[in-house]
C-alpha cells in the first residue's frame, strides 16, 4: 500500500524551493556585483540560478499557487 502524494504537499515543496532559489540567486548576484572582475563561472552560476528561479515561478503560476495561502 503506497501513500498517495497530496497536491498540497507538492505545492508547499515547490514554494520552499522557490524561496530557497531566490535567496541563492540574490546572494550570487550580490557577490558578482561586488566583484571587481567576476569570473565566468560566477556569471554562469548566477544565470543558472536565475533560470531555475524563473522556471519555478512559471510552474507556480501554472499551478495557480499563491504563497499567501501557505503562510
1-16 residue pLDDT tens: 567 778 888 888 999 9
Q: What is the pLDDT of residue 68?
A: 75
Share of the chain above pLDDT 70, in %: 93
User: What's the mean pLDDT in 32-43?
Assistant: 90
Q: What is the pLDDT of residue 1?
A: 52
Contact 21, 50 (CB under 8 A): no
Q: Does the pLDDT value for residue 63 go beyond 60?
A: yes
Q: Which long-range contacts (CB under 8 A, 24 or more apart) does 41-45 make?
A: none
Confidence at 44, pLDDT banded by 50, 70, 90: very high
Contact 26, 54 (CB under 8 A): no
Question: How many residues are listed for the chain in this entry?
Answer: 71
Amino acid at each position: 500500500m503506497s501513500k498517495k502524494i497530496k497536491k498540497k504537499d507538492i505545492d508547499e515543496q515547490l514554494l520552499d524551493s522557490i524561496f530557497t532559489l531566490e535567496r541563492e540567486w540574490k546572494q550570487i548576484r550580490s557577490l558578482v556585483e561586488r566583484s571587481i572582475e567576476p569570473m565566468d563561472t560566477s556569471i554562469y552560476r548566477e544565470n543558472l540560478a536565475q533560470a531555475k528561479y524563473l522556471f519555478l515561478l512559471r510552474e507556480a503560476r501554472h499551478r495557480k499557487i499563491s504563497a499567501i495561502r501557505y503562510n
